[in-house]
Structures are given as C-alpha cells and as structure tokens.
Amino acid sequence: MKPREPRRDEHLATAPRLVGYWRDPDAPRTATLPDPRDLVDPKWSRSERRRLVRYLQRGRLLHDFQGFSWCRFRCGVSDRRMGHRDLTDGVYVWPEGLAHYVKAHAVRLPDDFLAHVRTQLEHEHAPGGLRARIGKLFGAKRGMPPGRVP
Ligand SMILES: [Zn+2]
C-alpha cells in the first residue's frame, strides 16, 4: 500500500511544536526525548486512534531527511514505510512514521496534542478553522483535500 504523497511546503507561520520524536540510543542529543515503548496504551479508544491516524497522515510535507526512520518496536515494518520526512498541520510538526506508532502499537501521544487535534477536527470547516488556516498557509487552491470527519 502506497501512502498518499503529501504536499510540500517549507513555511510555517509560527515556531512549530514537535510531537512524536523519539529517543535514539545511537544519538546522545535525543536522550531527553521519550521512548515510545513507555507510552503504549492498549485501552486507548480505537475510534480516537483511527481519527488521529487519519489526521497524522493528512499532514503537509515540511522537510526531507537523509535516510529513513525505523520503528522503535522493531516490529518488522520496513524503514521505507516509516518514512524520512516531517509533516505539519501549521502548528505541530511530526515525523511521517508517527501514524504507524499510533496505529500498530497504540502509542499514546501527549494530551495537549490530542486536545489540539480534537479541536481541529471539530472546527475543521468553521471560518478560521483548520482548512481556512491551512488554506492561508499554503495558498487557497492547494488547501487540504476534503477529509471525512466522523
Ligand atoms: Zn512498528
């Protein structure tokens, strides 16, 4: 299954907040980041996870990196599927492999991010909501494709 190709943009309106960046034993500068294996929440609502996965997959492309990421659970998913790019919604920035952690391993993301996503999805179609903001950031004609909001 080929993931949808995200749109590219290099500009953010404000300093981005980062979510879903993990500790890498081989990179000392990541020592203060969380390990996703500590964040697994098997009781997390499946419907919220599904909505979140869709949201994460709809992010806009921000940066390319050299080399692919890898799943910290070593579950066998290919590094290619984990991606090598950063995505954004104009406020938060996350690695494109983050959806995999939520979907496959029930890795719970911080409450402030979950609250942000909930608000974005509730107000997606409102004036000044996510679609309008993204439209403004990225140009009206390149606004987000219609997403299904359950
Ligand atoms: Zn995995």
- Tell me the torsion sign for CA atoms 122, 126, 129, 133: positive
Centre of ligand 1 to C-alpha 101, Å, is 6
Report the C-alpha gap between 123 and 106 in whole angstroms: 25
Centre of ligand 1 to C-alpha 136, Å, is 35
Centre of ligand 1 to C-alpha 74, Å, is 6
Centre of ligand 1 to C-alpha 131, Å, is 30
Tens-digit pLDDT profile for the chain (150 aa)?
555 666 665 555 567 799 999 998 888 999 999 999 999 999 999 999 999 999 999 999 987 777 788 999 999 999 989 999 999 999 999 999 999 999 999 999 999 999 999 999 988 766 666 666 666 655 544 444 444 343
Backbone phi and psi for residue 61, each to the nearest 5 degrees, phi listed first: -70, 130
Centre of ligand 1 to C-alpha 78, Å, is 9
Pair of tokens at residue 39: 């964040």
Cβ pair 55, 6 in contact under 8 A: no
Centre of ligand 1 to C-alpha 7, Å, is 25
pLDDT at 4: 61
Centre of ligand 1 to C-alpha 95, Å, is 14
